[in-house]
Chains A and B, each alone.
Chain A
Amino acid sequence: MADIFSEFEDRLPQKIIDEIKNSLPKSASDAKVKKILEAAYEEYTIAKVSPGESVGLISAESIGEPGTQMTLNTFHFAGVAEMNVTLGLPRIIEILDGRKELDNPMMEIYLKKPYATGKKIEELRQLALQIKETKLRDISTELSINIADFTIEVKLDKDKMKGIEITNSKVTDAVSKQLKGYNIKDNKDSIILKSRSKESTFNDAYKTKEKIKDITIKGVKGISQVLPVKREDEFVIITAGSNLADVLQLEEVDAYRTTTNNIFEIEQVLGIEAARQSIVNEIFKVIESQGLNVDVRHIMLVADTMCVNGSLKGITRYGVVSEKSSVLARASFETPIKHIINAALVGEVDNLDSVVENVMINQPIPIGTGLPSLSVKQPKTAKEK
């Protein structure tokens, strides 16, 4: 039986072979298995795209046409609580442009077994608060500068600190870790910062005062809101703000399922293949939420072009388009002068083997009926003989 499968190994993808293997009943005879594989191979060949099919343009039309029906509804409250989500056309543009700064970065944090099913809501809330970022400005009531010796006094909000379990020592630790060159004195209701350098000025003190407001005292940096949500029979924490690398470090988090909508973070933490899949998922989510019907394979093609180089590239003149080999193709898409001048400087050659260039010079485009050409073996002339 193994022989039959190995016979098909270079004809069918491994995934299909495995699928057939797993779903076969044990009683299947070799002849029948072979028949099944033959039939699968035939189906597989039919499903293949023919050579010369302009898959890119068909994908573009298939995504673009329903895209025109997409309402420009930017914001939409995702049911459970007030959490802003970018949806619709703006989100698709955000993904395809490969933007690094998202309008609404978000995470879905899945938890490991004991925490996920935890019956105690209280524990879960504690965990969520562990993740939420608390900045110095959140727990201070007043920041003031002593003009005489340029020390900075931070008055702490004791009630708030108690509520989220922060002690004075935690505050001083965090500040000393993230702020170099200052001595920190714990004064019970406040902490006092004094510069170690002798030549400090009021200006320096003022700048430091503004800077320390954003010091993270507790939680994961960048996560501004947390919201525990029950999904089927487990608890998931949805956050506003994203920091995949640091969240995955947490012990309670299920690193296999936790995700973010920031594709760049996924690329950095999990690699390019994960980023590609994440592009597909994110775009498909938006298209689905709008009630439109686009085949995934079109989106997969887009995701593939964005990731082929091993790094994430947006479909912009700085991203995918700048990688095109043809000068004329690049020039026909935004900033033509830049491309032509640069090409002239290095004496670039355009081989005219893509669609746009051939439309420009009015030659048959190498797609569909324009792709095949005829080669004729000429009889040798008398001389050559």
Chain B
Amino acid sequence: MVEVYINSKFAGIVDNPIEFVNKVREERRKGLLTHNLNIFYNEKANEIQLESSKGRARRPLIIVKDGVPLLTERHIKQLEKNEISWSDLVKQGVIEYLDAAEEENSLVAFFESELTPEHSHLEITPLAMLGYCTSLVPYSNFNQSTRLNAGSKNQKQALGFYASNFSVRMDMDVNILHYAQKPVVSTIMHDISNYDKHPAGQNLVVAIMSYKGYNMEDAIILNKGSIERGLGRSTYYRPSIAEELRYAGGLIDEICIPDKDVKGYKTEKDYRFLEDDGIIYPEAKVKEGDVVIGKTSPPRFLSSMEEYSLASSTRRESSINLKHGEEGIVDFVLITENEEGNKLIQARLRDERIPEIGDKFTSRHGQKGIVGLIVPQSDMPFSSNGIIPDLIFSPHGIPSRMTIAHLIEMLAGKVGALAGRYINGTTFDAEPEERLRKELLSLGFMESGLETLYNGQTGEQYLTKIYIGNMYYLKLKHMVANKIHSRARGPIQLLTRQPTEGRAKEGGLRLGEMEKDTFVAHGASLLLKERFDSDKTIVPVCESCGIIAIKDNYKNKSYCTICGENVEVNYIEISYAFKLMLDEFKSLGIYPKLQLESKY
């Protein structure tokens, strides 16, 4: 007597659980029951669970009967000829999807050679344990798992050729790598996913050595000659969008060059790129502050639309201009209508990004790094064949991270480049390293992959042989041009008079609580005061009531709002934030009386 539950609801009792479970499975394979159904016989709890609900993770496996997989050579031939598809295999009951519960009832063989009559399923390929991005890492079975996670994460951020119609698309924040290449060392997943149609990296010559300390802490050295030939060159696209919004009362935004009497009119110079329709022309070189799309909006409140208003226009400026730090060339202008029938303008900006110090690059093994130095080709080390590395990678990145696949990929890339063929680096099924070494030897190189390099500046031979090979490198979307930030003076907040926060607002870098503590711990009292002077003010204080008084510069008089003019008013230097706090106390009905005394 075993209880049966369907989607966790009690459904009934069966006498012979094994027979019942087998029957359900048989009917599912025949297609009499839905393929989404999974069944699990829990012997300990003495119950059978049938699940067909959403949200379970399921995975495909080949069904095995009496130690023989149901997937035969004939199926594979048919698949190759495109006569059948994957879903046909599922329909035929050759492949089925198991969920975590049903897996408990099955015995899955990893390889076909391991099959015994007890096995119920066979793994399709060991590669199935990896996700898409992870299976793009060549020789990944030689890497530590954490590095694979990091590596596949990096691949998702790589610049590449994301869509072939990019030139007519208006995607926000996208990059195109100019000379993207197909990797020399690839996996089967590259073929399956047509990676050569949307590649995301370049094959570089990489040497593992140090270069004057500019590649310590994961930094990399780039060859300036290679950059000039197009290494890691990309374009950044970002559209500016403006819409003619409709407001209550038949009012509407207007895309045009704003009149000079519009509220918030910038300067004539800011509008210089606009054509008569108020839209910028393509190929205009714009910098921060320049208006891309001119626009005016009706007043915010209808009351300010009074007829006898002195101002000739009540409309306000609402143009789209470039924010702080942005620059580029107008690439493409689109005038259209949106779903609500409003006029919609999109002006796409393009900016060529040549690799510079601070840009992020990575191999496919989680070995990310930032460009530390760009070296003229004449100063780069060279081999006796005249090969000059595009990129120099620090040897200190290897031992602790144990990314052996990084080294094997270099070797495989070298063989592939020299022999003129693509190397298969599929996980668990790659071309063996031994064979690569033999081939390298036959190509006239040392089988270890080492080469004698010469100092590019002095021409001296390096005392050590250097490991050098070809690797697929990715440029990541984190580029300094989007992040660089500094400030000496700049905008302040209205309320507190303290500097604004964040790069977009040209903000300051906060000296926080714990940083403050370090000044205190050093006893650097006056330095601390100076650091916090950003919002210092000098305020008049009434000596008799201790409330902030008023200094009238026009009449050259000071007076107190409570005690009148015949009081002594003194000036103190405090932070504006403190003055604000005193004001807030007053609004709470608390009387913050300042008692002044001479500090000296």
Contacts and interface: CB of A to CB of B under 8 A. Distances in A.
Interface residues of B, number: 28
A366 B578 contact: no
Contact of A367 (B525, B577, B590, B600): B525
Nearest to A331: B581
Interface stretch (A23-31, A292-300, A368-376): A368-376
B590 A344 contact: yes
Contact of A53 (B523, B578, B581): B523
B575 A54 contact: no
Nearest to B600: A373
Contacts of A274: none
Contacts of B532: 359, 362
Most buried by A among B521, B574, B578, B590: B521
A261 B367 CA distance: 50
A144 interface: no
Interface string A44-63: 00000000111001101100
B262 interface: no
B517 interface: yes
Given A359-B532, A360-B575, A361-B578, A366 B521 contact: no
Interface in B534-584: 535-536, 573-575, 577-578, 581
A363 interface: yes
A367 B523 contact: yes
A362 B573 contact: yes
A194 to B, nearest CB: 50
Contacts of B585: 340, 344
A371 B599 CA distance: 12
A363 B529 contact: yes
Contacts of B111: none
B520 A54 contact: yes
Given A360-B578, A361-B574, A362-B573, A58 B529 contact: no
A368 B527 CA distance: 11
Contacts of B525: 364-371
A355 interface: yes
B163 interface: no
Contacts of B599: 373
A344 B517 CA distance: 29
B522 interface: yes
Nearest to A376: B600
Interface in A61-113: 61
B1 interface: no
Interface of A: 52-54, 57-58, 60-61, 340-341, 344, 349, 355, 359-371, 373-375
21 contacts: A53-B523, A340-B585, A344-B585, A344-B591, A349-B595, A355-B520, A359-B528, A359-B532, A362-B532, A362-B533, A362-B578, A365-B525, A365-B528, A365-B529, A367-B520, A367-B525, A368-B524, A368-B525, A369-B523, A371-B525, A375-B600
Given A364-B526, A365-B520, A368-B524, 4 more contacts: A60-B517, A364-B529, A370-B529, A375-B600
Question: Which 8 pairs, one residue from A and one from B, show the smallest C-beta to C-beta distance?
Answer: A368-B523, A370-B525, A362-B575, A344-B590, A361-B578, A364-B525, A369-B525, A365-B525
